[in-house]
Structure 1
Amino acid sequence: MIFKVYYQETKTEVPVRENTNAIYVEGASQEEVRKKLADRDYNIEFVTPLSEEALEYEKQHEDFKVEQL
């Protein structure tokens, strides 16, 4: 399953919507995705699974790329 992860670049950065980034990660669960990203200094705000419809929508964006962790 593909998850969309919303995050800030560093854990010390205050979450501000305009500075929020998103990456796509493949995993079996939200917990697994968080564990895969644990070595990065990200302040993870939200991890959400993408439905088939949402995944197809996201694929239409040119910056869509699934992180290989």
Structure 2
Amino acid sequence: MIFKVYYQESKTEVPVREKTKSLFIEAESVREVLSKIRGRGYNIEYVQEVKGAYLEYEKQNEDFKVLEI
């Protein structure tokens, strides 16, 4: 499964919507996603499974890249 992770780059800053970034990770569960990115210092806002038409839409974006961890 592919998951989209919405995050802030620093845990010490107040979350601001305009600074929210996202990345895609392949994993079996949300728990596995969180364990893969645990040591990066991100402030995780939301983890969402991406599938079907939504995944196809995201693949059309030139910035779409599944992070290999």
Do Structure 1 and Structure 2 share a fold, with TM-score over 0.5?
Answer: yes
Superposed CA deviations along residues 27-51 of structure 1, whole A, max 9, x for unmatched, are: 0000100000001010000000012
Matches within 5 A, 1:45-60: 45-60=45-60
* Higher helix proportion: 2
Shift in Å, 1:53: 1.0
Q: Percent identity of the aligned residues? A: 58
Residue 66 of structure 2 is matched in structure 1 by 66
Residue 35 of structure 1 is matched in structure 2 by 35
Gaps of 5+ in 1: none
Query: Does 2:6 align with 1:2?
Result: no
Distance in 1 of aligned mates of 2:13 and 2:7? 10
- Secondary structure at the aligned position of 1:49 is classed as strand
Counterpart AA for 2:67: E
Q: CA RMSD in A?
A: 0.5
Gaps of 5+ in 2: none
